Every structure is written in C-alpha cells, then in structure tokens.
Amino acid sequence: MRNIFIAIVLWLTFGIHGLNAEAWVRGAATVVEASGGVEVAIPADDESFDSFDKPRYFSGIFTSRAQSGASALFHTSNGMTIAFRGEGVFSVERFEGLFGVVEDENEPNETRSRMILNLRRGELMIDSRSLTADSKFVVETPFGRISSVKAVLLIRIEFDYRSNIYDFTVSCAEGTVRLNDLRDQTYSILAGQRISGAGSYTAPAIEVAGQTDQIREKFELFFGALARLDRKNIDQGKLRAHSKALPDFVDETRTSFRLTHQRRANDSKRPRVIEFAPQAEPITPFRGEVRPPSDFQADLF
C-alpha cells in the first residue's frame, strides 16, 4: 500500500511511472528564519526576497547576500541545513538529487545529491549529515575547493579590499573536510581541527591547529539551532513544488554510461588524427657574405 502511495506521489510530482521509479531533479530550498539585511535572488525566476517573516520556498539555484551582522538559516530539499552570516555573499551553482524511495521512510526523498556552493565572503555553517555516502558536495572559494559529505563544518572568509588580503578559517565538528588549494595541495581537517590562512588567494600562508573557544561556541550555537528546528513546520509540498525534473540528465558516473560511450573495437569509422608535418629543409642554403671595408675603415688599418 505504501509503495502505491509513493508511486502516485512521484507520478503527480514529476510525471514518473512505476513503483520503483527514480528521477534526477533540481533541488529546492527555503529560508526558515532570518535577521538583519538578507536578500535571496533566484535568477531562473527573476525574483528576489528580502522579507522572511514567513518561510520562503524557491528553486535550489540562488544567490544570497547578507549585510554585516545579518544571518539566515536555509533548509534544502535533500535535508541539509545551512546557516549564513554576513557581511558576505554565497550562491548555489549546482543542486541535483536522485528523487525516489528511501528505505524506512514514509515518503520519497532526494538521495545521491550533487551540490556546488560558491562562497566569496562571509561565514557558512553547514550540516551535510543527511547526504548519502555517494553524494558530492563542494564549496568553491577564492583560495580553493572544499569538499565534504556527512559532516558539520564552518567556513569563514574575510577580504581586505585595500591590501587584497584574504583571511579565512575552515573548521570541522563532525566527519572529515578536505581543502584543495590553488597550488594543488590537499589538507584534511578532522573533527576538532581547523585550518587558518591569510594572504593572497593564490598562495596564502596556511596552518593547521585545534579549534579556538570562539569556533567551539559557534558550533554549539549551530547545534542548538538544529535542535530547535522543527522540520514539521517546513511544508514539504511547497518545497517539492519548486523542484524541477531533469528528464535529459545523464549520470556520467554510472558504469553503463561509460561503457555505452566507449568506442567500439569494430567501429568502421576511422578516427581523424591531425599531425604536424616536420619543418621543410630550405631550398637555397643561407650564405653570409662579408662586405669589403669602406675607405674610412681602410684608413684605420
């Protein structure tokens, strides 16, 4: 009975047929609460919000700006919670999830998410423990790429316009976080650790150390906000209404896709190979000729 209900929900929401149907969808998000000057812009819908006296639901591809001291708490359709504090700006550049049946759940959810965030300035606290182990979650920053799955992390970036100096911190409360900087150096941040850096975005000075009291206090406040978050007040119907089916989405990680797109051995079509021809030998050899000295030069010798 439950499978029939799930199939009906899938069919009504995304036009998916079958009891075990799955489909890739573009995710959605909502602002649960906000304080101060916060703005959320949705480029695809050409609309923006700056008032959050009630929950706002929108597409998962968006940009948010926050003034100094302002903050917002986001909840996404794949179950993640993101706290953003300004002054700064961050955006969600990619957000896809496999929508289908999850074991031990009463309703279908998004699994195997692929999400790319972009943080230029400000502070993000992220709870990605709801993601599956085969999901992909990345935060692009001016100084490198931060990746994590099933983790709780903090990213803070400050920028001095006069000196063009970045000051950043990446810390982890649960799970493992990895930073790959522009010099192709990889740093692993375990629970209870932090990475601090300062300097230009191409070659900042980086140190690995334990968390400060200030960072631990921020994590305590974040966990308190997660405990107070009542997910029952989030209208899942409105959240899914802003999801978008991706019928032409191709999962390039699947083995079937890679095998299908490999060139067959018996393919009759020959590949086109462009090779550079060697430089031709000169037709007329170059010969230098010494001119006779002038009358002035002859008088010198």
pTM: 0.74
65 three-state secondary structure: strand
Check residues 9 and 142 and name the one with the higher pLDDT: 142
* Main-chain dihedrals φ then ψ at residue 295, nearest 5 degrees: -60, -40
pLDDT one-digit tens code per residue, 181-239: 888 889 999 999 999 998 888 888 888 889 999 999 999 999 999 999 888 888 888 88
Ordered domains of the chain (ranges, CATH): 26-247 (2.60.120.1440)
The percent of residues in the chain predicted with pLDDT above 90, rounded, is 43
Please provide the average confidence, as pLDDT, over all residues in the chain: 81
Q: How confident is the model at residue 1 (pLDDT cuts 50, 70, 90)?
A: very low
Beta bridge partners of 176: 190
What pLDDT digit, counting tens, does each position of 270-301 carry? 556 565 566 666 666 555 566 777 776 666 65
Q: Which residues of 69-88 are buried (b: 16+ CB within 10 A; e: fewer)?
A: ebbbbbbbbbbbbbbbbbbb
pLDDT band, very low/low/confident/very high, at 250 (cuts 50, 70, 90) = low
The most distant pair of C-alpha atoms in the chain lies apart, rounded to whole Å, by 116
Distance CA 105, CA 99 (A): 13
Q: Any residues with CB less than 8 A from the CB of 210 and at least 6 apart, and which?
A: 192, 193, 194
250 compared with 2, residue with greater pLDDT = 250
Residue 12 pLDDT: 43
Evaluate if residue 4 carries a pLDDT over 50: no
